[in-house]
A = this chain, B = another copy of it.
């Protein structure tokens, strides 16, 4: 068939016109299965994530949109494929069966069996996040070190000397979830660098847990004047606990929510100062990485670490006089 028309070799202008006309008239559509079979390539990228990863939150939406767009511009479809955590094999088989050409893996932990399976089968993939071991792996991630450093600096510059950090759950820490581990370490390092009295705690992803946690911190360290939170759900509890104690934000206590969005910050009163999760950038970059791996292009040395920018709200202010 004259189907090389679809871009493969030089074509006569007139011939092309004839073909295009025929295509219109017959309402012709290229068959994806036949193309995939012949070309040995599905032109599908799979975005796999744990089932209901906190319910496909706002950040995911932004990420997926950017990734989707980038993929489309390159002639690929991005499809979101939810899997339970235990289904390592299924993730790998998506590619081995030719359903997808490559995989974007979200919510990776420091030791992630899905990644082991992918590596063992030589399946092309890019991680959103990082395993502990990195060589030979393609990834993009939030720069937690930089983000937490900036967060601590912001508060230290405002005169705060005792800062608490409300992290993700203990479970996520125990299972080696990268963001939890990295953020904790970075917070500590930044606090030491600025001579800050630091408290860090984990909290389950619920407002109630955040409230209890915050309450406990205030009991133990009443001199705490600032909270950095990296737990969207628990943050609701943090502000509740402050309200319970008649502590005003930001006059008595400052709250800085990191790796979230101003939109979420706007749900509070006053609106939270946030450090925005760079979902868009991560989405674009991760697809670029994966495509480079797929097409054998040299994995261009672009930044793999993306930072969260400070988005001023009304929840951080100068430390109160004592």
Residues of A within 8 A of B (CB): 29-34, 36-37, 42, 51-62, 64-65, 68, 77-82, 93, 96-99, 206-208, 233, 236, 240, 243, 266-269
Contacts and interface: CB of A to CB of B under 8 A. Distances in A.
The binding surface of chain A is classed by DSSP as mixed
Contacts of A29: 93, 96-97
Contact of A32 (B42, B57, B77): B42
A79 to B, nearest CB: 4
Given A32-B42, A36-B33, A266 B206 contact: yes
Contacts of A99: 32, 77
A52 B240 CA distance: 29
A240 B243 CA distance: 13
Contacts of A51: 65, 68
B56 A82 contact: no
Given A52-B65, A78-B82, 6 more contacts: A31-B97, A56-B64, A68-B82, A79-B79, A207-B268, A236-B267
25 contacts: A29-B93, A29-B97, A30-B97, A31-B37, A31-B98, A32-B36, A32-B97, A32-B98, A34-B98, A36-B36, A51-B68, A53-B61, A54-B61, A55-B57, A55-B58, A55-B59, A56-B57, A56-B58, A78-B82, A80-B80, A207-B268, A207-B269, A208-B266, A240-B269, A243-B269
For the complex of A and B, list the 3 residue pairs with the smallest distance between their C-beta atoms, beginning with the closest: A55-B61, A33-B36, A56-B56
A267 B237 CA distance: 7
Nearest to A240: B269
Contact of A61 (B56, B59, B97, B207): B56
Contacts of A62: 52, 55
Contacts of A207: 266-269
A42 B33 CA distance: 8
A194 to B, nearest CB: 32
B52 A61 contact: yes
A34 B34 CA distance: 7
A93 B28 CA distance: 11
A61 B59 CA distance: 13
